[in-house]
Amino acid sequence: MALDHNSYTAVNPNHSVDLQSPRNLEKPEGPSAPQGDLSEPFPRDITGWKWAVAAFTLCSSIFLYSLDGTIVAVIQATIVAEFDSLNNLAWINVGFLMGGTAFNMVWGQVYGQFNSKWVYIFNVVLFEIGSAICGAAPTMDALIVGRVICGIGGSGLYNGAFTLISQTTTMAERPLYVSGTGFTWGLGTVLGPLVGGAFQESKVGWRWAFYINLFIGVVCAPAWLFLIPSKNPRPGVPLKTRLREFDYAGMLLLMSCLVCLIMAINFGGLTYPWKSGQIIGLFVAAGVLFLLLAFQQGLTLFVTLPRRLIPVQLIRSPLILMLFACTSASAAGVFVPIFFVPLFFQFTRGSDAFETGVQLLPLIICLIFSIGVNGALMAKFGYYMPWYLLGGLLCVAGGALMYTVDQYTSAGHIYAYTVLIGIGVGMWIQAAFSVAQAKVDTGNVPAAIGFITLAQFLGNTMALAIANSIFLNLAESRVQELLPELSPKQIEAAISGVAVNFMKGLNQKVRAQVLETIVTSMGTTYILVMVAGALVSVLSLFMKREKLFITAVMAGG
C-alpha cells in the first residue's frame, strides 16, 4: 500500500500531529498502552450489500494487479517467439515491475492531496489502457510500453484500494480486510500462470491474457463509480496549493534511482556482462541518485518538512524496519516457485503452459489458506511474533527441500515441498500491514503502511531479478561446457524455454546431462527462499511477545 505521511489527512483531515517527533512514532509501551480507539467513529456511510460489493470490487482490483504481474510466467516464450525478439525477453517483466515500483511512493503523495476515489478510478483506466496496448501490440516494443503503463496504473490502483480501505474501516475491522486483500493478492499472483497458460493453449491465444482485464474492469466499473465512498482529503484547498506542495525533486530522484537499480540487476550477466560499462554505470548512477535523494530528504530541499516523499521518521523504529525486511523477504518465497516450478515441469515432464499452471495449485491453495488464517487468528488472539517465527522456519524447510530436487523427483514430492513454502510465507506476507497500523501513533499510520508497501514492491522486483540472474548465469555457463558448439544466445533461448524443440534434438546421453544441469541451476535459486525464511525467523526473535488488536476488536463488538 503506497501511502505517504501526508496521506493521514485522507483518514482524518481534522487531526493535526507532529509527524517528525519521535514520541509520536510508536504508541506508549506497557500494559496501559492503547491498542485501539474505543470511541472511534464509524468511517463509512454505506453498509450491508452495498458495502460488501464495494469491498469486493476493491479487492478485485488488487487481484487484477497481482494477476498481471505473473500471468506472463508461462506465455513469455510464445510472445518472444512470435515477435522474434529474444533480446527483449527480460523487458516483459522488467517493464511492469519498473513502472509499478518507481511510482509507488508518488501515488502516495497524490492520494494524500486529491479525492481518493477519483485518483483510484484514474489508475484503473490507466491500467486498462496498458492492458489493451499489450493485447493489441503489433511489436515487442509496443508490448513493453503497455507493460510499463500497466505497472504504473496497477501500482496506483493497488495503493488506492488500500487507501480507501484504510479510510472506510475501523481498527477492529482492519486486520480482516487486510487479510482479504492478501487473499486476493495471493490468488492473483499464483493464478497468473494458470490463466496465462489456459489462454495460450486455447483458440483465442495469449493476447487474451491481457484482454481479460478489460472485461473484469467493465463488470466492476458500476461499483467503482457508484458505491465506493468519495473521500476528499483536503476539502476547500485550492488546486494550485495542492500542486505546489508535491515533493517533485524527491519524486524525480527516487524514480530515477529505482529505474537504474532495477535495470542493472535485471540486465547484469544476461543482456550485458556484470563488468560491462553499461551495468557498472547503472549501479553507479543508482548509488549517486540515492545519495542525492538522502541529501534532499534530510535537508528538506525544495520541499517542506511535512511534505517529504520519504517517511524518514520511520527509520527510528526498529520494529518498522524489521517489518520492512520481512515483507521484502516474502517475495522470494512467492516468486521463486511461481516462476521456476512451471519451468521445472516443462523440462522434466514436457508439461504445456496450462498443465504447469495446474501444477502450481498446491502452492496456490495453501498460500491463500495461510493468509486467511493469519488474518483471522492474529486479529482474534493478538500475537504477531509467532507467525513470523513459524512461517520463516517452514519457508526454510520448503526451500531446502526444493534445493535437493533433481530431474527424477516425483511430482508428489514437489507439491509437498511447495506446500511448506506456501503455508510458511502465507503466515507473514500480509501481516505487517496490520501490525504497522496497530503499533505506530495514529498520525504515522499511513506513513508506516506506505513504507511496508515499498518493501513489498522492492522485494518483488529484486527477488525475481536475482533469482533469474542466478539461474541463467549458472545454466548458461554449465550448458556451454556440455555444448560448446552453441552460441550463448542459442543456449539462453533453450534454458528460458523459448526454444521448445531444443531438448528433442539432443541424443539421450547429452539430453540427460543438460537436463541435470538445468534442474540443478533451478535448485540453486531456492537458496534465496532459504535465506528469506532464515532472515524472517531471526528477526522474529527480536520482536516483542505482545498482543495487538484486542482492544480494537472488543470496541468493534
* Type of residue at 152: I
Per-residue model confidence (pLDDT) at position 416: 96
* Partner residues linked to 547 by β-bridges: 383
Per-residue model confidence (pLDDT) at position 128: 94
Specify whether the CB–CB gap between 91 and 151 falls below 8 A: no
pLDDT at residue 172 greater than cutoff 50: yes
Q: Which residue has the higher pLDDT, 11 or 465?
A: 465
Question: pLDDT tens-digit profile of 4-15?
Answer: 334 333 333 333
Residue linked to cell 543456449? 491
Helix intervals (H) in 306-444: 318-349, 353-358, 361-381, 385-403, 411-426, 431-439
Measured between alpha carbons, how far is 63 from 69 in angstroms, rounded to an integer? 10
- CA torsion 246→250→253→257, rounded to 10°? -110
Burial class (CB in 10 A: 0-12, 13-18, 19+), 369: middle
* Cβ neighbour number for residue 267 with a 10 Å cutoff: 21
Burial string for 228-258 (b: 16+ CB within 10 Å, else e) reads beebbbbeeeeeeebeebbbebbbbbbbbbb
Specify whether the CB–CB gap between 326 and 535 falls below 8 A: yes
Residue 549 banded pLDDT, cuts 50, 70, 90: low
Return mean pLDDT, the chain. 82
DSSP state of 24: G
pLDDT at residue 27 greater than cutoff 70: no
Residue linked to cell 513504507? 451
pLDDT at residue 444 greater than cutoff 80: no
Question: pLDDT tens-digit profile of 113-125?
Answer: 888 899 999 999 9
What string of DSSP letters covers 490-521?
HHHHHHTT-STTTGGGS-HHHHHHHHHHHHHH
What string of DSSP letters covers 33-81?
---S-TTPPP--S--HHHHHHHHHHHHHHHHHHHHHHHGGGTTHHHHHH
Sequence spans of domains, the chain: 44-229+243-247+303-555, 248-302
Residues 6+ away with beta carbon under 8 Å from 406: 516, 519, 520, 523
Name which of 23-37, 119-133, 158-172 the model is least confident about.
Answer: 23-37
Q: Which residue has the higher pLDDT, 469 or 19?
A: 469
Specify whether the CB–CB gap between 164 and 361 falls below 8 A: no
Compute the average pLDDT of residues 334-351. 86
Per-residue model confidence (pLDDT) at position 40: 56
Measured between alpha carbons, how far is 341 from 197 in angstroms, rounded to an integer? 14
Look up the pTM and report it.
Answer: 0.79
Nearest to 104 by CA among 308, 276, 248, 309: 309
Compute the average pLDDT of residues 310-337. 87
Compute the average pLDDT of residues 424-438. 87
Q: Which residue has the higher pLDDT, 74 or 294?
A: 294
> What is the distance in angstroms between the CA of the first residue and the CA of the last residue of the chain?
27
Question: pLDDT tens-digit profile of 90-108?
Answer: 788 878 888 888 888 888 8
Q: Which CATH number fits domain 44-229+243-247+303-555: 1.20.58.480, 1.10.600.10, 2.60.120.10, 1.20.1250.20?
A: 1.20.1250.20
Measured between alpha carbons, how far is 453 from 128 in angstroms, rounded to an integer? 22
DSSP state of 506: S
Residue 227 banded pLDDT, cuts 50, 70, 90: confident
